[in-house]
Structures are given as structure tokens and as C-alpha cells.
Amino acid sequence: MLKVNNLIVNYGHVKAVKNISFELNKGEIVSILGSNGAGKTSTLFGMMSIVKSSSNIEFKGKDISKYSSVQKVKEGLVLCPENRRVFPELSVEENLKMGSFIRGNYSKVIKDVYDLFPILKDRKRQAAGSLSGGEQQMLAVGRAMMGEPEVLMLDEPSLGLAPVITDDIFNVLKELKNSGVSILLVEQNALKSLRISDRAYILETGNIVAQGIAKDLLNDEKVKKAYLGI
């Protein structure tokens, strides 16, 4: 469904992502794991043309390498960024409407988002900036869902959250997969990510140093000690 070949991201003379290739099949959850500075966020930003990069990207058999960020969203690639990045002065409902601005049918999808996150329905008139961190993360995921993504990319959705809220978010990701959404998950929480993923790639200093079926990586003692910190 999605193939990324030879992705390179440079910041001046610093090579953040060094010629990596990976793919995501329809209906999969695939994780990209690694420590801070490994190149995870740069990978997503490069894919989405948010930062300058070079690569060959195929989506559903179409070459979208030269597409802008907006064009990629229109095709069905939607990014839920790190640190939520909600619009704090806007209400929950207004934030969700923003998610369907480029792509998506608001009146069709809003019920699904409220079913996934009932607390957002209860808070729909509330300013997003007044929500708790966990509620803001739910709003960020919900806003991404408003674009009716075929591929949903999430950057550190568990960052700064209590374990119980992290569990809730990851359970929602499993529900989304079951509904047919393909998910590319960037995370530091390797254990939780591998438990819900089909496959995973491990990044270190911009290189893929290990890859494979998630459960195999989870059970590989060498990989766990060297790269996953578990």
C-alpha cells in the first residue's frame, strides 16, 4: 500500500535520515522505533514533505514523491503530530472541524470520533487548551481521523501520558486497524508498540538497524537489550 524507498533527510550538514526504505501493507500497524535523535520524527516529516527530503514514495501504486504535504493529505496520508499541537483557543468541536478541512466528511465522521472518544463529545464546547494532556492527545488523534485517512501516521502518541491513558490510546489504534485503517506508528514505548504491531523497524542515528515481525523482535533478547531498552 505504502512504499518508501531511499528516504534521506538532511538538516544542513547533519544527516538525520540516511537512505532508509520501508513499507506498510493495507490493514497493518507498523512501528518505527528508536531513542531520541534516532530520526523517527524526521522520517515522518520527510515523507510528508514538511522538511526537505529526497525519496521515492509509492502510495497504492502511484508515485507521490513530488507531492506537497496538502496533496499527500488529499491522497489519504494523515499525520497526527508529536505534542498534540491542538489549537488551544478553539473548542474541541472546532479543532475536529479543522481536521476535515482538506479531506473528510465532517458530518459523516464526527459520530465515529465521538464513539471512539466519548469524553470529546462531553467536552465539545470546551476550549482545547483547557483539556488534560490525555484529552488533548485524544483530540489530536480524533482530529487526524476526521480526514478519513487510509494511512494514519502517529508521532509519539504516548508521550507524557499516564499509563492508563496510554493503554486507552493504544486500544483505539487496535480498533482503527480493525476498521481498515493502516497505521504507521512512531514511538519510544517499544514494548507497547510491538504488542499491537504487525511489523517494526528500529532506527538508530538515521539508519534502520533491525526490522521484522513485531512478536519476533519482542522475543529477540539481543534486539531488546541493544536497541529497545527492555
- CATH number of the structural domain spanning residue 13: 3.40.50.300
Residue 30, in any domain of the structure: yes
Q: Which of the pair, 188 or 157, is modelled with greater confidence?
A: 157
The three cell numbers locating residue 52: 526537505
Please give the average per-residue pLDDT across 131-155, as a whole number.
Answer: 95
> Total domain count for the chain?
1
**pLDDT higher than threshold 90 for residue 228:** no
Residue 135, in any domain of the structure: no
Q: Name residues whose C-beta falls within 8 Å of residue 116's C-beta, 6 or more positions apart in sequence.
A: 142, 145, 172, 175, 176
Residue range(s) defining the domain that contains residue 12: 1-72+183-230
Residue 121, in any domain of the structure: no
pLDDT digits (tens, 9 = 90+) for 175-211: 999 999 999 999 988 999 999 999 999 999 999 999 9
Residue 157, in any domain of the structure: no
pLDDT digits (tens, 9 = 90+) for 43-70: 999 999 999 999 999 999 999 999 999 9
**pLDDT higher than threshold 70 for residue 118:** yes
Residue 191, in any domain of the structure: yes
**pLDDT higher than threshold 90 for residue 31:** yes
Residue 55, in any domain of the structure: yes
Residue 31, in any domain of the structure: yes
